[in-house]
Amino acid sequence: MTSAGKTNRQELSLDDYVEGIRQGSRRVLAQAITLVESQQSTDGDRAQEVLRRLMPYTGQAHRIGISGIPGVGKSTLIDALGIQLIDSEHRVAVLAVDPSSSLSGGSILGDKSRMPRLASNNDAFIRPSPNALSLGGVTMRTRESMLLCEAAGYDVVLVETVGVGQSETMVADLVDTFLLLMLPGAGDELQGLKKGIVELADVIAVNKADEDNLERARIAQREYMAALHFLPGRDQEWCPPVLTVSAKTGAGLPELWNSLHSHRAALEGSGELEVKRQLQLRNWIWTVIEERLLRAFRSTAGVEERLRSLETGVAAGQLTATMAADELIRIFRDTAD
């Protein structure tokens, strides 16, 4: 490659990355995340070596996932809570897991324009969702970005995600504490309670508890609290608190941080944090294996060629889906050797 095609990023050595991050350079951190997100295998090897060297400096942060339907106020809340945390000497990193970003070509999660105060603050670092091919890929890269942020000294990592598909489950497997935001007014939201997302939640907050919504928010709070009683308990130790907050006015945010902090303290106190993180690491190995294998499988030339006709055959009832899958896997194996 000619020097004209080189970017700054490629000129950094492994030592540059490691030292830059250790010194808390946001520019180097951003470049390291770009390296982690790169689809090129040489970048991938370098990224892994940077991560390996930084591993001793990771793990200290409180990792918090924030979920809820679009418009519930995740970004607004992250902005307000983030500033509050920075005021009490924390350094805050904001990452995003947006499985739709690959389709739309860009993530609106973690968009700096939605977090104006954090975006202009030197103690905050904001990174939108990577555009990767699969949810597994997005989560994998977010996890590695999170580790880089921790090594750079960010002690609170907030991961924003939307209530789409499996993304909550993936994010819950990435963080210590999972915060679910709800809207005032129950009804449909109460249905959501039965659909499993709530079972992942460590803390529930009814947002937009301000102005005309205040009373409705309190009603929703009571209903969620009652509904939680009927859910099978996950950890007996921790009953998810239900709070009302306003990301707009800041009301309830100190109490929200108290709850998030208490959850983390409870995990640490009982030894569960260590167990949880070990389990997450084991799961992560499998996420990487699945992501890598699937990517290799899909990019195998023979597989792609044969896929269309096998699909047609299955649709026409000429062969079973399992037969088609087995043939494709045979092609993949033969080329892999």
Please tell me the distance from the alpha carbon of residue 141 to that of residue 130, in angstroms, as a whole number. 7
Smallest separation, CB 93 to ligand GDP (Å)? 17
User: Residue 108 or residue 206: which is nearer to Mg ion going by CB?
Assistant: 108
| By the rule CB under 5 A, 300 interacts with Mg ion | no
Written as six digits, the tokens of 225 are 């609290």
How distant is the alpha carbon of residue 81 from its chain centre?
A: 18
Residues 6+ apart with CB under 8 A from 188: none
DSSP characters for 240-307?
PPEEE--TTT-TTHHHHHHHHHHHHHHHHHHTHHHHHHHHHHHHHHHHHHHHHHHHHHHT-HHHHHHH
How many residues are present in the chain? Answer: 337
Region of 67-75, 142-150, 294-302, 317-325 interacting with Mg ion (CB under 5 A):
67-75
- Which one of Mg ion, ligand GDP, none is in contact with 73 (Cβ closer than 5 to 8 A by kind)? ligand GDP
Count other C-beta atoms under 10 Å from residue 235's C-beta.
14
| Chain positions contacting ligand GDP, by CB under 6 A | 68, 70-76, 114, 207-208, 210, 246-248
Residues between 74 and 133 with contacts to Mg ion, criterion CB under 5 A: 74-75
Nearer to ligand GDP, 115 or 170 (CB): 115
CB of 169 to Mg ion, least distance (A): 19
In this complex, which beta carbon is closest to Mg ion, that of residue 54 or of residue 81? 81
The structure tokens 């859910």 sit at 231
Q: How far is the CB of 74 from ligand GDP (least distance, A)?
A: 3
Tell me the closest approach of the beta carbon of residue 104 to ligand GDP, in angstroms: 14
Query: Which of residues 68 and 82 has its CB atom nearest to ligand GDP in the complex?
Result: 68
Residues that bind Mg ion (CB under 5 A): 74-75
